[in-house]
């Protein structure tokens, strides 16, 4: 049995490795000259940076976390998360609701009072249940935290109105703060949110791509890079997969590429499915890496909700993740700008992007221009799934169709779900377990 895996990102490579461990023949078809997808890294002039934005290794899923840590064994740096929000010139502890004592007095009162008022109203059943993400934010955090941080930051990263976003995904991903934690944080007693991320791992050498390389190690000879899948046809029991020049024949075909790339490769796709695919919303990403002489603050990453500070929504400090991410007396900063495909940002030159990011970092007192010794820009067409209100209907139509023709969807942009690395590995593991179960039903 030969399995063709479309896409050589984390999901495709994990699937290939797991199938290979079972003794199956696999071939991974990857469009780019290098494999790894969003989890690639580059090294240049002594700086190592992740080209798909800042990546750290963490998970609540013990099995998956062990898998990832085993892959980078001997090449692992453990870090304590120290994350901040840049708010009115201050570094406020993250999550915002755990950092209220860092706020100016008036904002601290506004956030605490509105949180408690909303909490009481919810307990008494006086508030109707939320119908969209914006209403959920107000319902969960109150007007203060909503308007100071949650709404501006979310609208900046998603590039989408929060009242047009679905809320099906928030439970579990954005924890509801316990009321005593919010009160403690307002009066200055330290509290922690998002415990599962409090300590994270990162490869000492090679950036996040070294995780990918370790996963791919046993199957690198089965990865065909530069193979952009353009057509997928069924012939008898076989799949014929072509890039327009070469054709690969396989018994099974698993897609980990974005559905927006997959659907046009298929024959006789119903209009309903094509429309559902066209209606899905996603964001692209620009990453600007800046290397500086001197050190960066001892922060893991910093969220920037304020639109007046420019387009950057988050900056991270890769030289704090591993000392090998920057040469000797230098530090590194990775600025992320999400944007809509084809918009103004996608047309901006690298030089303009670097100039804008530099201006933002200077305003935030993170660097001075004369410290800059290195700059680089990377662009990712598919970065974030945006859960608009029609998302569940549209993805349901696509999944049903792909299941009906026998092309399973696994991974962040194939399932079209907000999956982190652990979610992708979990999906791959569950997919393989299901194959085994179908083969040997108990
Ligand atoms: C800014 C940012 C920060 C993140 N930070 C973290 C983090 O800290 N921790 C964490 O756990 N996760 C993080 N993630 C999520 C993580 O990057 C993803 O979960 C993971 O990389 C997705 O892997 P994938 O293989 O499903 O998709 P991808 O990485 O998108 O891989 C898909 C592959 O398919 C290829 N492809 C596309 N079209 C074709 C075609 N027609 N033919 C052949 N190949 C094709 C692409 O080139 C790509 O290599 C982050 C994501 C972003 C955007």
Q: Which of 162, 191, 220 is the last residue of a domain?
A: 191
Are 175 and 230 found together in one domain?
A: no
Are 216 and 262 found together in one domain?
A: yes
Whole-structure pTM value: 0.97
Are 145 and 211 found together in one domain?
A: no
Specify if 66 maps to a domain: no
Are 122 and 246 found together in one domain?
A: no
Specify if 20 maps to a domain: yes
In the reported structure, the alpha carbon of residue 170 is separated from the centroid of ligand 1 by a whole-number distance in angstroms of 21
Q: What is the pLDDT of residue 77?
A: 97
Alpha helices, H only, 250-333: 259-262, 271-279, 318-321
In the reported structure, the alpha carbon of residue 435 is separated from the centroid of ligand 1 by a whole-number distance in angstroms of 23
Nearest CA to ligand 1 atom 38: 257
Report DSSP letters for 198-241, one per residue.
SEEEEESSS-THHHHHHHHGGGGGGEETT----EEEEETTEEEE
Q: Which of 191, 223, 242 is the last residue of a domain?
A: 191
Are 162 and 15 found together in one domain?
A: no
Specify if 369 maps to a domain: no
Nearest CA to ligand 1 atom 37: 257
In the reported structure, the alpha carbon of residue 71 is separated from the centroid of ligand 1 by a whole-number distance in angstroms of 18
- Probe residue for ligand 1, chosen from 4, 7, 378, 416 as the CB with the greatest number of ligand atoms within 8 Å: 7
Q: What is the mean pLDDT of each run of 10 residues along the chain (442 residues)?
A: 97 98 97 98 98 97 98 97 96 95 97 97 96 96 98 98 95 80 93 81 98 98 98 97 98 98 97 98 98 97 97 98 96 98 97 98 98 98 98 98 98 98 98 90 72
- CATH number of the domain within which 423 lies: 3.50.50.60
Distances (CA, A) of 322 to 58, 317, 325: 16, 10, 6
Give the span between the Cα atoms of 281 and 391, in whole angstroms: 8
Q: What is the pLDDT of residue 442?
A: 67
Which range marks the domain in which residue 164 is found? Answer: 96-191
Contacts (Cβ under 8 Å, ≥6 apart) of 317: 296, 297, 299, 300, 301, 331, 332, 333, 334
Are 274 and 393 found together in one domain?
A: yes
Q: Which position has the token pair 């969003």?
A: 38
The pocket around ligand 1, CB under 6 angstroms, is made up of 6-12, 29-32, 37-39, 52-56, 228-229, 256-258, 261, 285, 336, 382-384, 411-413, 419-422, 424
How many domains, the chain?
Answer: 2
Handedness of CA 218, 221, 227, 230 (dihedral sign): negative
Are 130 and 183 found together in one domain?
A: yes
Nearest CA to ligand 1 atom 15: 420
Report the chain's C-alpha Rg in angstroms.
23
Q: What is the pLDDT of residue 300?
A: 97
Collapsing DSSP to helix, strand or coil, 409 comes out as strand
Are 211 and 266 found together in one domain?
A: yes
Are 215 and 266 found together in one domain?
A: yes
Give the span between the Cα atoms of 369 and 395, in whole angstroms: 46
Specify if 375 maps to a domain: no
Give the span between the Cα atoms of 438 and 442, in whole angstroms: 9
Q: Which atom of ligand 1 is nearest to the CA of 419?
A: 19
Are 178 and 253 found together in one domain?
A: no
């Amino acid at each position: 049995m030969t399995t063709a895996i479309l896409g050589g990102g984390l999901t495709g490579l994990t699937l290939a490795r797991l199938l290979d461990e079972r003794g199956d023949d696999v071939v991974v078809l990857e469009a780019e000259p290098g494999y790894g997808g969003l989890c690639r890294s580059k090294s240049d002039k002594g700086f190592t940076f992740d080209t798909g934005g800042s990546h750290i290794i963490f998970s609540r899923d013990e099995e998956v976390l062990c898998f990832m840590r085993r892959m980078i064994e001997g090449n692992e740096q453990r870090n304590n998360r120290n994350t901040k929000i840049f708010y009115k010139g201050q570094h406020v502890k993250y999550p915002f609701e755990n950092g209220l004592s860092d706020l100016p007095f008036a904002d601290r009162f506004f956030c605490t009072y509105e949180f408690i008022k909303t909490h009481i109203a919810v307990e008494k059943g006086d508030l109707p249940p939320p119908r969209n993400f914006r209403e959920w934010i107000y319902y969960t955090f109150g007007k203060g935290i909503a308007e100071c941080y949650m709404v501006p930051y979310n609208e900046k990263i998603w590039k989408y109105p929060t009242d047009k976003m679905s809320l099906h995904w928030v439970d579990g991903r954005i924890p509801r703060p316990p009321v005593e934690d919010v009160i403690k944080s307002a009066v200055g007693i330290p509290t922690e949110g998002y415990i599962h991320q409090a300590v994270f791992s990162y490869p000492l050498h090679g950036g996040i791509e070294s995780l990918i390389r370790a996963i791919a190690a046993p199957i690198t000879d089965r990865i065909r890079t530069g193979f952009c899948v353009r057509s997928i046809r069924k012939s008898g029991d076989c799949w014929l997969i072509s890039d327009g020049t070469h054709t690969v024949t396989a018994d099974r075909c698993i897609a980990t590429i974005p559905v927006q790339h997959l659907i046009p490769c298929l024959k006789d796709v119903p209009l309903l499915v094509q429309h559902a695919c066209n209606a899905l919303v996603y964001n692209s990403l620009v990453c600007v890496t800046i290397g500086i002489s001197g050190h960066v603050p001892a922060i893991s990453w910093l969220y920037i909700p304020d639109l007046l500070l420019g387009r950057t929504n988050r900056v991270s400090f890769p030289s704090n993740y591993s000392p090998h991410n920057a040469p000797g007396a230098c530090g590194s900063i990775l600025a992320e700008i999400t944007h809509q495909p084809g918009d103004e940002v996608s047309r901006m030159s690298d030089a303009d992007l670097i100039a804008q990011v530099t201006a933002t970092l200077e305003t935030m007192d993170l660097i001075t221009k004369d410290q800059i010794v290195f700059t680089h820009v990377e662009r990712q067409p598919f970065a974030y799934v945006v859960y608009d209100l029609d998302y569940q209907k549209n993805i349901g139509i696509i999944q049903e169709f792909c299941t009906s023709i026998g092309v399973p969807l696994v991974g962040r942009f194939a399932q079209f779900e907000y999956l982190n690395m652990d979610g992708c590995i979990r999906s791959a593991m569950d997919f393989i377990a299901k194959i085994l179960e179908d083969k040997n039903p108990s």
